[in-house]
Structure 1
Amino acid sequence: MVLQRIVRAVIMGPPGSGKGTVSGRIVKTFGLKHISSGDILRANINARTELGLLMKACIDQGQLVPDDVMSRLILSDLRAVDQSSWLLDGFPRTIYQAEALDDAYSVDTVINLNVPFEIIKQRLTSRWIHLPSGRVYNIDFNPPKVSGFDDATGEPLVQRADDTPETVTRRLKAYKTQTEPVLEYYRSKGVLETFSGTETNKIWPHVETFLSRKLTSVNQKVA
């Protein structure tokens, strides 16, 4: 009998790189739990938890949520699924956060989606969102069944103010500045795997093949 080892993975990539789509496919194909920092953030703000109120105050003032607050929040949720394999999305975003994660868990692999910024700009300015759930649509390649409305609820979709071309350019520059050191951090540890391309459907088969081999190798080691 092959023993199943707990697998801990991180997915990285700039906003609009297809992380949500790829994460969904990884979860469906390999059974990992999807831990999204955005979902956790929204849930805590909506529930008005102590950390949620602190983060809302930062966001309302246009400030970044402090590293130690984000780390406490995410690690708290990870402890709740301690005996499960998971895929972490949206965290870590800084070296401090990466080190905090490393102090608590050993990360097996980091999947980095490398998509040209020009392609991302085109994607994001075509993006519409169902705010209550966070579901994302794109009028070019993932349109809603009914234009302007969420597939599941029928509620109206909105375009975020930060999806304008000027704001997208700033966000991408900020991501590059903030995250390049994190990618290098994981590269130096030998756990970073980068997948480059312009279309999620063409990147996905390579991610799937890599993870199939990775998980098979991991499980054989503990068989």
Structure 2
Amino acid sequence: MKKLFLLIGAPGSGKTTDAQIIAQNHSDRIVHYSTGDLLRSEITSGSERGKLIDSFTSKGNLVPLEIVVETIVTAINNTPKQIILIDGYPRSIQQMEALDKVLKSQSDIELLNVIEVVVSEDIARDRVLGRARGADDDTEIFDNRMKVYLEPLESIETFYSHKGILKKINGERSIEEIVNEIESFIQSKI
């Protein structure tokens, strides 16, 4: 049975860095994916699904939900590792519901927890604008990304809270403290 953990958090919350470090620290049994990486990897593979994904992304269009979920589930099923961390998913109520529906039909994948790395909007803004890695690191784009993140957040939190699988982690500490807490939490669940 594959054990799935989802990491969500605002832009600049550190969720991707946290997940990468945890997967590196436990590379024998934990794998980390981000949805964007999975889609890009599928395109690079040249598969039929990759060509379909490329037909959307190359025009700047969103990849249909069913294809995204199918890509995630295929990656989970194909990894030899038993513990999977996926960061940045779900980002909408529709993504959450689609994944939930698919997981109900999968007897060999169990969603153990959704871990939310919580940071204030001010901290997130300072981190994103301070790193200035690319074109998306400006105030207007950050504000839009934050809005997109916050709009469905309460519904996502409520959905996973009702299932008893939402864990909130304070993301306003050192990376080491955050990673240690997430690692300990994952250990307690497996």
> Which of the five TM-score ranges fits, normalised by the shorter chain?
0.7 to 0.9
By how many angstroms is 1:6 displaced? 4.8
Map of 1:71 onto structure 2 = 69
Hey, what's the Cα distance between the residues in 2 that align with 1:101 and 1:29? 30
From 108, 111, 125, the counterpart of 1:121: 125
Map of 1:98 onto structure 2 = 99
Deviations 1:28-81 (A, max 9, x none): 344311122222112122334333333333334443222111011111111112
By how many angstroms is 1:82 displaced? 6.4
Hey, what's the Cα distance between the residues in 1 that align with 2:25 and 2:81? 19
By how many angstroms is 1:194 displaced? 0.3
- Segments of 5+ residues of structure 1 without an aligned counterpart are 129-158, 216-223
By how many angstroms is 1:83 displaced? 6.2
Computing the radius of gyration from Cα coordinates, the structure with the larger value is 1
- Segments of 5+ residues of structure 2 without an aligned counterpart are none
Map of 1:133 onto structure 2 = none
> With CA pairs under 8 Å and 6+ residues apart, which has the higher RCO, 1 or 2?
2
The TM-score, its normalising length taken from structure 2, stands at 0.81
RMSD of equivalent CA atoms: 2.4
Hey, what's the Cα distance between the residues in 1 that align with 2:20 and 2:73? 21
By how many angstroms is 1:214 displaced? 3.0
Map of 1:178 onto structure 2 = 152
SS at match of 1:17: coil
Aligned-residue sequence identity (percent) comes to 28
The TM-score, its normalising length taken from structure 1, stands at 0.70
1:11 aligns with 2:4: no
User: Is residue 71–residue 100 contact of structure 1 (8 Å, CA) maintained in 2?
Assistant: no
Hey, what's the Cα distance between the residues in 1 that align with 2:83 and 2:186? 13
Read off the aligned partner of 1:167 and give its amino acid letter: I
Superposition pairs of residues 51-200 of structure 1, within 5 angstroms: 51-81=49-79, 84-93=82-91, 94-103=95-104, 104=106, 105-127=109-131, 159-200=133-174
By how many angstroms is 1:191 displaced? 0.8
Map of 1:20 onto structure 2 = 16
Q: 1:208 to 1:77 in 2, by over 3 A?
A: closer
SS at match of 1:160: coil
Hey, what's the Cα distance between the residues in 1 that align with 2:99 and 2:174? 26
Read off the aligned partner of 1:120 and give its amino acid letter: A
Map of 2:187 onto structure 1 = 212
User: Is residue 39–residue 50 contact of structure 2 (8 Å, CA) maintained in 1?
Assistant: yes
The list of structure 1 runs, each at least 4 consecutive aligned residues, that deviate by more than 4 angstroms after superposition, is none
Aligned length: 181
